[in-house]
Amino acid sequence: MRNISISNELKSRCLGLRLGCIEADVNVDESSIELLAEMTTRIQQISESLSIESISKIPTITASRKAYKVCGKDPARYRLSAEALLRRVVSGKGLYHINNVVDQLNLVSITSGFSIGGYDADQIEGDIVFGIGDQAEPYSGIGRGELNIENLPVFRDEMGAFGTPTSDSPRTEVKEQTRRFLMILIDFEGDKMLNEAVQMAEYLLKSYCGAEKLEILTIE
């Protein structure tokens, strides 16, 4: 696995921050009936057990929103991806079906409450550092266009910012031609759910994405 680290600036603000990282060879395809069935079951369970108001009280969501605030970003305006997905589910809108790799990531995210980055690893240049966005730092989010990432937690490589807990970027987007996949689960407060979520992702990747040569690592 490539070198992944957390900047001292971000560590000093989010003392319990950990990253659950999985890198694997995958086969990107349409989601199978079996994966879609797992998603449907989980969506129904969440819809029946959560309200919009209760989403922010989920421990992993609470911790993520707190991290945004201490970094200087409004989590209501720059919605965390996990919270946005859960709001869709609770509102009865379900989830978009993108491909098997992205769909399993979203399933893990709504189950755990962790915002998760999913990247074409071959499009990442050099080492990865998880830090805080700078003023006027250029960034484009998938389906969002230009995004102000000042004070937002952000993943960077040698070419610049490519991922945030709000929106990943087109440069490292998972597409049909993706062969090596990097998945980063963002745990802002040392939650016990991280190991379970990583194990769930490993199972889904092996079962539905043909994952091989898996490497799993926790970064603190």
Structure tokens at 60: 């992993």
> Given this model, what pLDDT does residue 181 score?
98
Structure tokens at 202: 């490993």
pTM: 0.96
- Whether the predicted pLDDT of 191 surpasses 90: no
Structure tokens at 174: 């998972």
> In this structure, are strands 180-187 and 4-6 parallel, antiparallel, or unpaired?
unpaired
pLDDT digits (tens, 9 = 90+) for 159-171: 999 999 999 999 9
- Whether the predicted pLDDT of 186 surpasses 80: yes
- Whether the predicted pLDDT of 190 surpasses 90: no
Structure tokens at 65: 């929103």
Contacts of 6 (CB under 8 A, 6+ apart): 17, 19, 129, 130, 131, 219, 220
Using DSSP's 3-state secondary structure scheme, residue 119 falls into strand
| Banded model confidence at residue 144, pLDDT cuts 50, 70, 90 | confident
| Banded model confidence at residue 145, pLDDT cuts 50, 70, 90 | confident
Domain ranges of the chain: 4-219
The CATH number of the structural domain formed by 4-219 is 3.50.40.10
